[in-house]
Amino acid sequence: MILASDKPFSHEILDDYGNAYFFDPFAEEDLMLKMKKLIKNKLKYKNEELIFGNNERNLYSEVIK
């Protein structure tokens, strides 16, 4: 899971990653609230399919067990 500033360069890198959460870089409360949610396990991993070099597909939730 990634917390990233809601800026074009972050979206360029992370828009294809479903477990990115964006915060307003000019509103420290937005980051604080997202960090609190993360610490309290209120931000959840979304099921993501990963494609490995050998073209096998795996659910992200299976990979992190």
Over the stretch 11-44, which tens digit does the pLDDT of each residue have?
999 998 888 999 999 999 999 999 999 999 888 7
Q: Which residues contact 23 (CB under 8 A, 6 or more apart)?
A: 3, 4, 5, 6, 30, 31, 34
Entry pTM: 0.65
Most confident of 6-10, 36-40, 46-50: 6-10
Q: Are 11 and 23 in contact (CB under 8 A)?
A: no
Q: Would you list the domain boundaries of the chain?
A: 2-63
